[in-house]
Amino acid sequence: MSKTVLICGGTGCVSSDSHKVYDRLEEELQKDPSSRIEVKFTGCHGFCEQGPIVIVQPDNVFYCRVTTNDVPELIEAMKKGEVLERLLYRDPVTGELSRSREEIGFYKKQKRLVLENCGEIDPENIEEYESRGGYEALRAVLGKERSEVIEEIKKSGLRGRGGAGFPTGLKWEFTAQAEGDKKYVVCNADEGDPGAFMDRSILEGDPHAVLEGMLICGYAVGADEGYVYVRAEYPLAIKRLKIAIKEAEEKGYLGDDILNSGFNFKVNIKAGAGAFVCGEETALLASIQGERGMPRPRPPFPAEKGLWGKPTNLNNVETYANVPRIIRMGADEYAKIGTEKSKGTKVFALTGKINNTGLVEVPMGITMRDIIYDIGGGILDNKEFKAVQIGGPSGGCLPSELLDLPVDYDSLTEVGAMMGSGGLVVMDETTCMVDLAHFFLNFTQKESCGKCTPCREGTKRMLEILERIASGKGQEEDLETLQRLARVIKSTALCGLGQTAPNPVLTTMKYFLSEYETHIKEKRCPAGVCKELITYRIDPEKCTGCTLCAKHCPSGAISGEKKEPHVIDPDKCTRCGVCITKCNKDAIYLA
């Protein structure tokens, strides 16, 4: 019987050498031409923590952590129609083995709509996309009135997936109604949030979904040209997009008189140049125009005056990727998923101190608890959940009290956080909230375009205060100053970067004020993170002088005679923690 081996080709698994697994498989399979086994590289399967992922169809067997050494055995098992148990997923808590994806906790509560093709198809082969309904939506749309298409998107309740959640149908309508002899469709694939890789996975795993979405948008708003603005740090996504565009052109889905409809559309790719602020729509447009990526005041909005002054519809990758599905299943069906005001699903990059890190897609309205504990598999090493950061550097943290909050646009904004583009970072007791705020603020300050005073100067001064607090030099007034600066920056900054930069500070202060106060009053970091507030000490009673720690200390901070208790010099110690991992006498502690 013939089999298909789907190997995950998402960046995560590729960095774990999944492409070498692919090569080895091809190599081995060539030795035996009689085996009817086909090997395919697909997009991201989502379970990055367990990669490289290999799925065998039609048996629907889910293998993880596959290496090149496993290949010969794997081929044997496939030929015999057997399952290689040692490569199956084992639940970390129960120890149970899962044979297929559907049995795995990580996948159970997910609803993979946008990511449906990721992991199933070869993203460099348009025919596989077509075989699963690809470009049918485009065909259907070309036979409709443009206003009908916009109505359908409005009815679906789709909201922008880039973070702000503006109703997509309404945005399309504005652009369609704007006056202009030329209109553009732009896809924001800049994805600048640190740790976010939703858009990347979609572009790498199912680029045609994005193209089809842009085509449908172009038709609806009256545009004949589009740009995908991809960050340059995504070379694989750029490569796959280029291939997809070429294939689509060859098949007549892009170009002139598409499918004999009289509709023309072409897509260009513009690579970014490493600036987070270019994810802001007006800065992005400036960058395409060859100018410095700096935002400009709005109104006028891009729908009215965008690229080169023409009406432009700008949406996120995930937003466009939703569009063909909405057309195919119908707006009403789509609107059944999610909540009243937040329809559909959302892709999240689930990372941090949880067991199952990876790419997930869930229906809107699911609780944070379900995401973290069911899908995420709970906190790593059984530690205590402390908070989850949602929305990256523009977002806020949610403490355990809010674990049962439904994940949708409005519930999140109500508590001072925001959906953001989909980055979720889970934290445990070993995360210092002051340090977290510092991390994000350091990022936004460095990425500030520098145009407006509150963001450029204000985030710098907030950062300096946080640094003082983290190094034990904080003062009482600092908390009030942080609040004042945050207030002013939020209300006066020119663009979303500045307006949301204080959020991490504000939410951590709101829910973890005591941690700030401890840093200031007691000059102590409860989580043991802030380097200048913790000292690594060796308990002389427990230390046997085995010198293991001293040998591994990268800064040469530990000294002592063999068999004599060792001592750590706090001035040289960088608090890297290597000594603790090496000591098997448990003699090193944080004072």
C-alpha–C-alpha distance, residues 545 and 122, integer Å: 57
Smaller CB separation from other proteins, 251 or 473? 473
Give the separation between CA 164 and CA 420, rounded to whole angstroms: 7
Instruction: Give the strand pairing for 184-189 and 3-8.
Output: unpaired
Of 445, 503, 507, 508, the one binding other proteins by CB under 8 A: 445
Which of 460, 524, 552, 585 contacts other proteins by CB under 8 A? 460
Give min distance, CB of 287 to other proteins, in A: 13
Please give the radius of gyration of the chain, using alpha carbons only, rounded to the nearest integer. 26
Strands 89-90 and 97-98: antiparallel
Q: How far apart are CA 127 and CA 474, in angstroms?
A: 61
Stretch that binds other proteins, among 423-431, 460-468, 501-509, 545-553 (CB under 8 A): 460-468
Q: Does 290 help bind other proteins (rule: CB under 8 A)?
A: no
Total residues at the site for other proteins (CB under 8 A)?
34
Span near other proteins by CB under 8 A; candidates 222-230, 348-356, 416-424, 457-465: 457-465
Contacts (CB under 8 A) with other proteins, residues 299-318:
299
**In the bound complex, what is the minimum distance in angstroms from residue 363's beta carbon to other proteins?**
30
On whether the CB atoms of residues 195 and 392 are closer than 8 A, the answer is yes
287 touches other proteins (CB under 8 A): no
C-alpha span between 300 and 271 (Å, rounded): 25
Q: Does 216 bind other proteins (CB under 8 A)?
A: no
In terms of CB distance, is 248 or 452 closer to other proteins?
Answer: 452
Q: Which of residues 155-214 bind other proteins (CB under 8 A)?
A: none
Residue 335 in the binding site for other proteins (CB under 8 A)? no
Question: 581: Cβ–Cβ under 8 A, 6 or more apart, which residues?
Answer: none
Residue 324: CB partners within 8 Å, gap ≥ 6?
133, 134, 135, 136, 137, 138, 209, 212, 213, 216
284 near other proteins (CB under 8 A): no
Contact segment (CB under 8 A) with other proteins among 108-116, 280-288, 407-415, 490-498 equals 490-498
Q: Does 492 bind other proteins (CB under 8 A)?
A: yes
User: Does 454 help bind other proteins (rule: CB under 8 A)?
Assistant: yes
Tokens 């996120």 found at:
316
Which residues, in sequence order, are CB contacts of 45 under 8 Å at separation 6+? 8, 10, 13, 51, 53, 55, 101, 118, 119
Which range of residues in 213-221, 231-239, 253-261, 483-491 is near other proteins by CB under 8 A? 483-491
From candidates 21, 71, 258, 294, binder to other proteins by CB under 8 A? 294
Closest distance of CB 394 from other proteins, Å: 15
Pick the piece of the chain touching other proteins (CB under 8 A) from 181-189, 255-263, 328-336, 480-488.
480-488
Any contact of residue 485 with other proteins (CB under 8 A)? Answer: yes
- Bond prior to 300 in cis (omega within 30° of 0): yes
If the CB atoms of residues 223 and 497 are measured against other proteins, the closer one turns out to be 497
Spatial CB neighbours of 138, under 8 Å, sequence gap ≥ 6: 212, 215, 216, 219, 253, 258, 259, 324
Contact between 494 and other proteins (CB under 8 A)?
yes
Shortest spacing between CB 378 and other proteins, in angstroms: 38
DSSP sequence for 57-114: ETTTEEE-S--GGGHHHHHHHHHHT---GGGBEE-TTT--EESSGGGSHHHHT---ST
Sole window of 79-87, 289-297, 376-384, 398-406 interacting with other proteins (rule: CB under 8 A): 289-297
The bridge status of strand 184-189 relative to strand 312-316 is parallel
Give the ranges where 235-355 is alpha helix by DSSP (H): 235-250, 281-288, 317-329, 331-335
CB of 292 to other proteins, least distance (A): 6
| CB 293, min distance to other proteins, A | 9
Tell me if 292 contacts other proteins by CB under 8 A: yes
| 297 near other proteins, rule: CB under 8 A | yes
- The CA distance from 15 to 33, in Å, is 30
Non-local CB neighbours of 430 within 8 Å, separated by 6+ positions = 353, 383, 527, 528, 529
Contacting residues toward other proteins, per CB under 8 A: 275, 277, 292, 294, 296-297, 299, 445-454, 456-461, 464, 484-485, 487-488, 490-494, 499
